[in-house]
Structure 1
Amino acid sequence: MEVHMEKDKKVTALYCRLSKDDGSNSESLSIRTQKAMLLEYATRNGFGNCQYYVDDGYSGTNSDRPAFQELLDDIRDGKVATVITKDQSRLGRNHIETGT
């Protein structure tokens, strides 16, 4: 499953995070499941130009995650129209910081 970004069009950011590595060097099953769920939701609800942002093996208690920081930068740069994630805890475990 591959998602391509269309040039000059804002993206629908599909953010996935898993806090513990599943023990393999490849992408975890949970991340694959989150990706499929988010893409299906986006497609069913008319959100196009999807781009994945994935932090596999990173804790939600810390916002110092590579894909999360890239997502924030893209939001600040006006590249993102919508962010979709499985639930708010994928963005972060600190509910006050996550809400901000």
Structure 2
Amino acid sequence: MIPHKSPRTKTMKTQKQMVAIYARVSTDKQKVDMQLRELRNFIKRSDWKVYREFIDQGYTGTNTKRPAFIEMMSEAQKRKFDILLVWKLDRLSRSLKDLINTLDELGHAGINFISYDNNLDTTTPTGKLVFQIIGAVAEFEKDIIRERVVAGLENAKQKGKQLGRPKIHDGILEKAKELRSQGMSFRKIEKKLGVGEGTIRKRIEYLSSVLIIQVFFCIAGLIII
């Protein structure tokens, strides 16, 4: 009798997740050592691999004009790594609008995001929910911009004005919110203020959605309003 041979089982090695670290400090006197040490240890404990460390030394977080940040986002678009890891959300950005846009770009690129100290991890159900909300708000803003441009160009064309990008000044928006709080309809507000139909409604709805994001982050302990 020929002895039965068990089939060989090939052990499949799971490829380690490639993690990019982003660190930032606002002045040249501050150090990123503590941020990097904690993040490196976290990656080691998770059995991942460091792809690269992107460091902006002496750059404010109020805008995205930072060399390491720009390079990091370029690498993300090319899907050079799997996860972006930061110490805190404010290291990535101190502007809620920029933060929403950045996280939306990462989501579209298929990059997961972890904010270590905030316990925000998009590989978890809660983290995925945050990404979905952020993506919805970002898409809503794009729709507002598109509609505003089309409405503004059409309005200018009808009045024989030179075509250009329409813009709602803060004073007009504040007046619109005041009239809205008094019970005036959006159509009457837009007619009174001389702006395109639907423009005020969309803008106020967008600001409300951003406020919801702020409250959500605040409740979750992710960011302080």
TM-score, normalised to structure 2, is 0.36
- Return the offset for 1:10: 7.0
For residues 81 and 97 of structure 2, what CA distance do their matches in structure 1 show? 22
Q: Which runs of 5+ in 1 are unaligned?
A: 1-8, 23-27
CA contact (8 A) 1:39 1:50 kept: no
Bigger-Rg structure (1/2): 2
Task: List aligned pairs for 1:1-100, cutoff 5 A.
Answer: 11-22=18-29, 28=30, 30-100=31-101
For residues 76 and 49 of structure 2, what CA distance do their matches in structure 1 show? 16
For residues 99 and 47 of structure 1, what CA distance do their matches in structure 2 show? 26
For residues 99 and 50 of structure 1, what CA distance do their matches in structure 2 show? 24
- Return the offset for 1:99: 2.3
Q: Supply the AA of the counterpart residue of 1:59.
A: T
Which structure features the higher share of helix residues? 2
Local SS of the residue matching 1:84 = strand
- Return the offset for 1:31: 0.7
Q: Deviations over 1:39-68 (max 9, x none)?
A: 011111122133100001000001010100
For residues 52 and 17 of structure 2, what CA distance do their matches in structure 1 show? 10
Q: Which has the higher contact order (CA 8 A, sep 6+)?
A: 1
Which structure features the higher share of strand residues? 1
> Identity over aligned residues, as a percent?
28
Local SS of the residue matching 2:73 = helix
For residues 48 and 38 of structure 2, what CA distance do their matches in structure 1 show? 13
Aligned pairs, number: 86
Local SS of the residue matching 1:37 = helix
Q: Supply the AA of the counterpart residue of 2:50.
A: N
TM-score, normalised to structure 1, is 0.78
Local SS of the residue matching 1:74 = helix
Q: Which runs of 5+ in 2 are unaligned?
A: 1-15, 102-225
Over 3 Å counting, the alpha-carbon distance change for 1:98 and 1:40 in structure 2 is same
CA contact (8 A) 2:51 2:81 kept: no
